[in-house]
Amino acid sequence: MVGNNPGYAPKVQHKIKKIDVHLVSHPITGGFADATRKVETIGYTIVRITTDQGLEGIGVTYHEVGGEATRALILNNMAPKLIGRDPLETEAIWQEFFHYLRGVGRKGLMYCALSAIDIALWDLKGKIVNLPLYRLLGGNQTKAPVYASGGWTSYDDDQLVDEMKGMVARGFSFIKFKVGVEGGTNPRRDAERVRKVREAVGPEIKLLLDANNCWDAATAIQAANRVREYDIFLFEEPVFADDIPGLARFKRGTDIPLGTGEHEYTKFGVRDLVAAEAVDILQVDGARVGGITEMLKASAIAQAFNIKFAPHAMENIHLHLVAALPNSLFLERLLMFEEVTAHVFKNAPVPVDGYMHIPDLPGLGLELDMDFVNDNDDARKLGSA
C-alpha cells in the first residue's frame, strides 16, 4: 500500500476530492439505421475526477439511451465511495465496485459507469506520474492505425458508394460499412452493394462489413459466402452478440475473419467468446467493458490465443492501448461521432493518412472544451443543474 514505505510514495500524494458528470447528447437527424436499429441520439457521458492537489482526470462512456441512469449511478452510488481515495489504486477500486454492484449488473450500464470512472483514474495516474498513458503501459509507438466506419443500411447505393469513396479520399485504407439491408431480409442486395463499393474503391482498400447482430448462423454463413469474392477483411457481428454458439458456427462456415465483442463486458465475457472459438478479431470497447483496467486483461486473454485486438469506437481513449499492446490491429473512427468529438475536446487527434497520433501530454492527453460541455450538458438544458 502506498504510504507504508515513504520511500516509494509519490512526491505528492493525491486524494480524490470531487466527481463531476456531464451528459452531452447529440441528435442524429439523418435517419441513420443499421440492420437492427435506428440511431436517434449519440453522446458522451463525461466523468471528471478532481484531486485535492488540483489534478483532474477525464473518463468517458457514451450513450444512445440510458445516459441519465449512468450518471445517476455514478453520482449517487459510486462517487461517495471514491471521495478520499488514492487515484493510483485502479485495481483495488475496480474490484471493490465489481463486488459492490454485482447484484445489479454484470453487463450493461453498470459497466458503462465503471468504465468511465476507471478511464478517468488512469488519466489521473498518467498526470500524477507525468507520463502519457501509452508510456505508462510500456509502449513505445506514438501513433496507431485507424479505420473509418459508417455506411448505414439506410443509405441508398449511391450514398453508400459516395461515403466510402470519401473515406478513401481522406486517406483511410481500411473502411467499414453496414450489411443487413431491409432488416436483414435481402442478402442478395447486400452482395450487390458490396460489389459496387469494391468496384468504386479498387482492389487495394481493405473492406470491413458489419451486420449488427441481424442473422442466425445459417443465414449469416450464406450472406458471408455471397460476398467472399470481394475480398472481405472482417465480417462483424453476423449473429446476435449473445449467440456465442452461432458465432462459433459462423466461423466454421466461412474463412472470412469474424469480428465481435463490442457488446461484451468484462474479462469473463471475453473468456466466453475466446473459449468457444467464437472470435478472430476482438472488438471490446473500453468505455463499456470496464475501462483501461479491463481492456488490459481482455487484450491479454486475446494474446494468449493469438487473437487480434481491435477496440470498438472511442478512438481517442483506445489510441494509447492500440499503440502500446502487441496484438492490436487498429482503431475504429465512427464518422457519426466526429462532430460531437470535435466539440467536446479541444485537442482530439484527427486521422492523418490512416493513422492517429498520440498527443504529447500526460495521461490521455485530452483537454475538454468546458464551455461547450457546460453549454450542452443535458442537465443544464433541462434546468436541473
CA angle 375, 379, 384 (to 5 degrees): 115
The nearest distance, CB 79 to Mg ion, in angstroms, is 31
Instruction: Find all residues with CB under 8 Å of 102, minimum gap 6, and list them.
Output: none
Q: Which is nearer to Mg ion, 240 or 372 (CB)?
A: 240
Contact 260, 279 (CB under 8 A): yes
Q: How far is CA 209 from CA 151, 174, 206, 241, in A?
A: 9, 11, 10, 15
The nearest distance, CB 180 to Mg ion, in angstroms, is 11
Q: Which residues bind Mg ion (CB under 5 A)?
A: 210
The nearest distance, CB 64 to Mg ion, in angstroms, is 13
Locate 339 and state its grid cell: 462532430
Q: Which is nearer to Mg ion, 163 or 210 (CB)?
A: 210
Q: Which is nearer to Mg ion, 302 or 324 (CB)?
A: 302
The nearest distance, CB 212 to Mg ion, in angstroms, is 6
Q: Which is nearer to Mg ion, 48 or 193 (CB)?
A: 193
Q: How far is CA 196 from CA 128, 130, 176, 204, 251, in A?
A: 51, 49, 14, 15, 25
Locate 120 and state its grid cell: 478517468
The nearest distance, CB 241 to Mg ion, in angstroms, is 10
Q: Which is nearer to Mg ion, 86 or 210 (CB)?
A: 210
Look at strands 331-334 and 143-149 and give their pairing: parallel
**Closest by alpha carbon to 372, among 338, 342, 343?**
343
The nearest distance, CB 246 to Mg ion, in angstroms, is 16
The nearest distance, CB 262 to Mg ion, in angstroms, is 5
Q: How many residues does the chain have?
A: 385
Q: Which is nearer to Mg ion, 143 or 288 (CB)?
A: 288
Q: Which is nearer to Mg ion, 123 or 163 (CB)?
A: 163
Q: Which is nearer to Mg ion, 9 or 335 (CB)?
A: 335
Share in percent of the chain as helix, strand, coil (round to 5):
45, 20, 35
- Per-position DSSP letters for 257-296, written without gaps between them: PEEE-TT--HHHHHHHHHHTT--SEE---HHHHTHHHHHH
The nearest distance, CB 215 to Mg ion, in angstroms, is 14
- Per-position DSSP letters for 34-66, written without gaps between them: -SS-B--EEEEEEEEEEETTS-EEEEEEE-SS-
Q: Is 329 helix (H, G, I), strand (E, B) or coil?
A: coil
Residue showing the smallest CB distance to Mg ion in the complex: 210
6 burial (CB, 10 Å; 0-12 / 13-18 / 19+) is: exposed
The nearest distance, CB 313 to Mg ion, in angstroms, is 8
The nearest distance, CB 178 to Mg ion, in angstroms, is 8
Contact 161, 173 (CB under 8 A): no
Q: Which is nearer to Mg ion, 70 or 260 (CB)?
A: 260
Q: Which is nearer to Mg ion, 124 or 217 (CB)?
A: 217
Query: Using only C-alpha atoms, what is the Rg of the chain?
Result: 21
